[in-house]
């Protein structure tokens, strides 16, 4: 990165960095090069985008320039920008993320909208979030439905540690976290809503994932090391014992025809009232199963 080059003794302004990095990231084949540097600068200065451009002639001090240089180097190696800045946005809130949890995706926000609507007529609903990861789904529901009681489970102690920190950020007292292997341990709770974004990438497709995902996000949260249907098969066998009568199960599914495979699993178990929902990209990514 040229900004640290002392031979020119140049004072690097915000606009200089933006213009330089825009070209640099573009040369490295990043899809949205300007966005890359903007996000890093916004985090560095803890400001809004408009402030960045209103103050575009501000000279960046050597300490901040060195930090920025380290961040850009990490990003060039395709480390997720959320890991570099230490957080990701979900449903309008910031969540701590690291290599132990899946980075929240915008399309997963669809689950929140559907869940809120499904529980609109239930007072003090009980919710279980299976495979909570960063806690973004369970915590968001706990915040959006203050009278709810949420149980968030995950097999990973490291992931639960992140989720607990996120719950502390929002001073929540209506969510509990439990370490549990969902596939081998019984869930002894009755809930109004079971929600999950389980590992659904088939093992054979894992090697084709982008480097950002494959090398930096937890494999256990991405693939079931099988056909991408393991968790759904398990759920189809047990939700009648966990979800109350008239309760619902809301699940994220993969792209393409994955939803039809998952739908078929539940049909075979006798569930007929299955609704599908499209995400922001108009892809069918969420299933709702009525108990």
| Other beta carbons within 10 Å of 242 | 19
For the chain, percent of residues with pLDDT exceeding 70: 97
Q: What is the pLDDT of residues 249-285, one digit of tens each?
A: 999 999 999 999 999 999 999 998 899 999 988 999 9
pLDDT at 5: 45
Q: Which segment of 113-117, 199-203, 279-283 scores lowest on mean pLDDT?
A: 279-283
Rounded average pLDDT over 1-26: 78
| Residue 27's pLDDT band (cuts 50, 70, 90) | very high
DSSP structure string for 86-138:
TEEEETTEEEE--TTSPPP-GGGHHHHHHHHHHTTT-SS-EEEEES-TTSHHH
pLDDT at 7: 40
Query: Which own/partner contact pairs does 112-115 have at CB distance under 8 Å and 24+ positions apart?
Result: 112/137, 112/140, 112/141, 112/144, 114/250, 114/277, 114/286, 114/288, 115/141, 115/193, 115/195, 115/250
**Measuring CA to CA, which residue among 88, 112, 274, 86 is closest to residue 195?**
112
pLDDT at 1: 52
| Residue 3's pLDDT band (cuts 50, 70, 90) | low
Domains and CATH numbers, the chain: 2-77 (no CATH), 93-290 (3.40.50.150)
Q: What is the pLDDT of residues 139-180, one digit of tens each?
A: 999 999 999 999 999 999 999 999 999 999 999 999 999 999
The answer to whether 203 and 223 have CB atoms below 8 angstroms apart is yes
Q: What is the pTM of this model?
A: 0.92
């Amino acid at each position: 990165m040229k900004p640290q080059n002392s031979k020119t003794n140049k004072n690097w302004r915000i606009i200089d960095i933006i213009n330089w990095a825009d070209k640099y990231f573009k040369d490295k084949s990043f899809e949205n090069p300007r966005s890359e540097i903007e996000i890093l600068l916004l985090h560095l200065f803890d400001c809004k985008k408009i402030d960045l451009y209103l103050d575009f002639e501000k000279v960046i001090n050597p300490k901040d320039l060195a930090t920025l240089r380290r961040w850009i180097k990490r990003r060039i190696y395709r480390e997720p920008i959320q890991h570099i800045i230490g957080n990701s946005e979900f449903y309008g809130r910031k969540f701590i993320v690291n290599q132990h949890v899946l980075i929240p995706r915008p399309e997963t926000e669809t689950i929140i909208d559907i869940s809120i609507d499904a529980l609109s007529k239930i007072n003090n609903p009980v919710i279980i979030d299976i495979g909570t990861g960063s806690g973004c789904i369970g915590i968001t529901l706990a915040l959006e439905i203050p009278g709810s009681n949420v149980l968030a489970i995950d097999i990973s102690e490291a992931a639960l540690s992140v989720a607990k920190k996120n719950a502390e950020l929002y001073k929540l007292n209506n969510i509990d976290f439990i370490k549990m292997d969902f596939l081998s341990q019984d869930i002894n709770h009755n809930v109004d809503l079971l929600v999950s974004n389980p590992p659904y990438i088939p093992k054979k497709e894992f090697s084709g994932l982008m480097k950002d995902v494959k090398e930096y996000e937890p494999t256990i949260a991405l693939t079931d090391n099988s056909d991408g249907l393991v968790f759904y098969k398990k759920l189809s066998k047990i939700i009648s014992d966990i979800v109350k009568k008239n309760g619902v199960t809301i699940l994220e599914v993969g792209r393409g025809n994955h939803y039809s495979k998952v739908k078929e699993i539940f049909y075979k178990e006798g569930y007929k009232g299955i609704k599908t929902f499209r995400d922001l990209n108009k892809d069918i990514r969420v299933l709702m199963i009525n108990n």
